[in-house]
Amino acid sequence: MKICAISADKQFLKIGESFEDSRWYTVTDTVKETTGTLVRNDIVEVEADKKDDGKLYLTKIKKIGSAPVLPKSPGTSKYTCDKCGKALKDDTYSSCYACNQKEKNSPENLDREAIKQATIRRQAIGHMTSRALISLQGQIEVNNIASIAETLYKKFRSLVEDK
Ligand SMILES: [Zn+2]
């Protein structure tokens, strides 16, 4: 089990497999010397008495190792890059500048960007076409609208896409 927390007065240790399922144990004189040297994340073997008051009293505790503490960047920053773990000065971005640049220039992202631009162009051409048709209202025959729309669309596209 793991030491998940130690009370400020060191009279109680919160021990368990994880913080959620850990319990507070009361330090007794028998183990006081050992518990004094323990720190959070130490892996321990414990024996405890459950007294009538429902509390657990440590009768034996032995350190058998220490759990790896999650790597934290040096310094005081509590914000880190999602991708490389580098410290960030605030939480404005979830990843650091280098990772952002890498992401921005990745093939996937460049493709996405190209598709987005093409969609925007198509929408613009569609708008031009419909505006032109509206302005031609009354001057063109209903039967010809489809072919006129097509002609306009092609014309606008050639203008926009410079082909
Ligand atoms: Zn990064």
Q: Tell me the CA–centroid distance for residue 41 and ligand 1, in Å.
A: 27
C-alpha–C-alpha distance, residues 158 and 32, integer Å: 84
Q: Which portions of the chain are predicted below pLDDT 50?
A: 73
Question: Which residues fall within 8 angstroms of residue 163, CB to CB, at 6 or more apart?
Answer: 157
Do 11 and 54 lie in a common domain? yes
Do 145 and 117 lie in a common domain? yes
Number of Cα atoms under 13 Å in the Cβ half of residue 151: 7
Residue type, 35: T
Both structure tokens of 130: 């419909």
Do 19 and 56 lie in a common domain? yes
Do 49 and 61 lie in a common domain? yes
Full domain range(s) for residue 76? 71-105
Residue 20: predicted pLDDT: 84
Do 42 and 81 lie in a common domain? no
Q: Which residues is 13 bridged to in the sheet?
A: 6, 25
Residue 72: predicted pLDDT: 53
Q: Tell me the CA–centroid distance for residue 98 and ligand 1, in Å.
A: 6
C-alpha–C-alpha distance, residues 38 and 69, integer Å: 15
Dihedral, 91, 92, 95, 100 alpha carbons, nearest 10 = -170
Q: Tell me the CA–centroid distance for residue 103 and ligand 1, in Å.
A: 10
Do 55 and 7 lie in a common domain? yes
Do 61 and 75 lie in a common domain? no
Q: Tell me the CA–centroid distance for residue 68 and ligand 1, in Å.
A: 22
Residue 103: predicted pLDDT: 86
Specify burial of residue 148 (Cβ count, 10 A radius: 0-12, 13-18, 19+).
Answer: middle
Provide the number of structural domains found in the chain: 3
Residue 136: predicted pLDDT: 87
pTM above threshold 0.75: no
Q: Tell me the CA–centroid distance for residue 84 and ligand 1, in Å.
A: 4
Terminal-to-terminal C-alpha distance of the chain: 71
Q: What confidence tens digit (pLDDT) does each residue in 128-151 have?
A: 999 998 998 888 887 888 899 999
Q: Tell me the CA–centroid distance for residue 75 and ligand 1, in Å.
A: 16
